[in-house]
Amino acid sequence: MRYDYLIVGAGLYGSVFANIAKENGKKCLVIDKRDHIGGNAYCENIEGINVHKYGAHIFHTKDKEVWEYVNRFAEFNNYVNSPIARIGDELYNMPFNMNTFSKMWGVKTPAEAMEKIRSQIPSSDHEPSNLEEQALSLVGKDIYEKLVKGYTEKQWGRKCSELPAFIINRLPLRFTFDNNYFNDPYQGIPIGGYTQMVEKMLDGIDVELNCDFFEEYRDFRKIADKLVYTGMIDEYFDYRLGHLEYRSLTFKTRVEETDNYQGVAVVNYTGTEVPYTRVIEHKHFEFGTQPKTIVTEEYPCAWRPGMDAYYPVNDERNTELYRKYKILADDENNVIFGGRLGCYKYYDMDRVIRESLDCAQREFV
């Protein structure tokens, strides 16, 4: 069979594009090297709990059109992300708000909290030149050292003083007693998990799993008129300009013989005394009442070939290298690059969907 589009990657970008293409009468083949659809949003049911296999995925958006689109394929619950930060035996609410400040300093009013933060911001006659200086200029010494420094250094594998300032351009300070992490008006978790949502997007579309594009369909023009590629852009070009840098993650998941392990879906471990950055208790995403619970420890690590790439390292060197790859990509006939890896950008889920919808609109108007 000949297809209008070969789509590499059954994650959100590829699945949304395939869905819109089908609605416009196009034939698509979606392939994925993994043994499942859904990309990093994939959920696996264990002990009756939808486990986020590749880390916590919490849908949130300001984009009403995106919200209405995903609600065509899933009913969302009213989960509100209210993570906890833990350092040693101390627990703090996130995002940084009056509950955080009250616990840390004993302050009672926003004015007291603002003054405490101001008193801890170092005076400087130059713009922050690295992440540490940037964070200190925004939140002061206590919050930086307890809740930012250790977590960030574990996440990126470098000292904060060696990281570019723009990585942390803003650290939201909320001078209210509001633990809702996101300001977006639309947020929640698909009831039944993300996998079911993507299954509905791909209904009636040909899908091949355990399929390596480079081994089986590198010469895509033999079976399709166009290619939608959501893998690593440097891999597509056989790394001819060099390797882009990524950060990866490993996970340790276990069953706990209790109905409630930590009382919240996400606890960030901001100290260096533990090697992981956060612990996820999956049942809380859907208000589960199962007699057991599933928890996952999340460990950041350096990416190596063969590993899943999660986070692009958008420092000066990698940004310039991506710019060169983008020039090559723009010269590729009938190839669309999309998603986090194809565009070498950190996208939230709603942004991935927005980009895919916009791309499809350009294709099918």
Please tell me which residue in 34, 86, 278, 340 is annotated as part of the active site. 278
Q: Is the peptide bond before 95 cis (omega within 30 degrees of 0)?
A: yes
**pLDDT value at position 55?**
96
Please tell me which residue in 75, 90, 317, 346 is annotated as part of the active site. 346
3-state secondary structure (DSSP) of residue 136: helix
Instruction: Report if residue 147 sits inside a domain.
Output: yes
Tokens linked to 53? 């296999």
> Contact 292/255 with Cβ under 8 angstroms?
yes
Residue 114 to residue 104: CA distance in whole angstroms: 13
Q: What is the pLDDT of residues 110-165, one digit of tens each?
A: 999 999 999 999 988 888 999 999 999 999 999 999 999 999 999 999 999 998 88
Instruction: Report if residue 265 sits inside a domain.
Output: no
Tell whether 161 and 192 lie within a shared domain: no
Tell whether 345 and 205 lie within a shared domain: yes
Last residue of a domain, one of 168, 198, 224: 168
Tell whether 51 and 105 lie within a shared domain: no
Tell me what the mean pLDDT of segment 58-87 comes to. Answer: 98
Q: What is the pLDDT of residues 90-113, one digit of tens each?
A: 999 999 999 999 999 999 999 999
Tell whether 150 and 10 lie within a shared domain: no
Tell whether 199 and 342 lie within a shared domain: yes
Tell whether 195 and 237 lie within a shared domain: yes
Please tell me which residue in 153, 234, 245, 298 is annotated as part of the active site. 298
Active site residue 178: no
Task: For residue 57, give its domain range.
Answer: 3-77+185-243+314-364
Instruction: Report if residue 351 sits inside a domain.
Output: yes
CATH code at 54?
3.40.50.720
Q: Is the pLDDT of residue 306 over 90?
A: no
Tell whether 216 and 321 lie within a shared domain: yes
Q: How many domains does the chain have?
A: 2
**pLDDT value at position 255?**
97
Tell whether 37 and 135 lie within a shared domain: no
Please tell me which residue in 206, 256, 348, 363 is annotated as part of the active site. 348
Active site residue 278: yes
Share of the chain above pLDDT 70, in %: 100
Q: Is the pLDDT of residue 239 over 90?
A: yes
Residue 168: CA count within 13 A, CB half-sphere: 28
Instruction: Report if residue 251 sits inside a domain.
Output: no
Active site residue 247: yes
Active site residue 351: no
Model confidence, pTM: 0.94
Instruction: Report if residue 124 sits inside a domain.
Output: yes
Tell whether 66 and 113 lie within a shared domain: no
Instruction: Report if residue 332 sits inside a domain.
Output: yes
Active site residue 13: no
Tell whether 192 and 238 lie within a shared domain: yes
Q: Which residues contact 120 (CB under 8 A, 6 or more apart)?
A: 140, 141, 142
Please tell me which residue in 2, 118, 170, 362 is annotated as part of the active site. 170
Last residue of a domain, one of 128, 143, 168: 168
pLDDT band at 170, cuts 50/70/90? Answer: confident
Tell whether 107 and 148 lie within a shared domain: yes
Instruction: Report if residue 45 sits inside a domain.
Output: yes
Going 214 to 216 to 217 to 222, the CA torsion angle's sign is positive
Last residue of a domain, one of 135, 168, 201: 168
**pLDDT value at position 245?**
94
Instruction: Report if residue 212 sits inside a domain.
Output: yes
Burial 293-304, CB ≥16 within 10 A → b, else e: bbbbbbebeebe
Active site residue 323: no
**pLDDT value at position 229?**
98
Tell whether 126 and 236 lie within a shared domain: no
pLDDT band at 210, cuts 50/70/90? Answer: very high
Please tell me which residue in 34, 86, 174, 340 is annotated as part of the active site. 174
Please tell me which residue in 235, 247, 276, 351 is annotated as part of the active site. 247
Active site residue 158: no
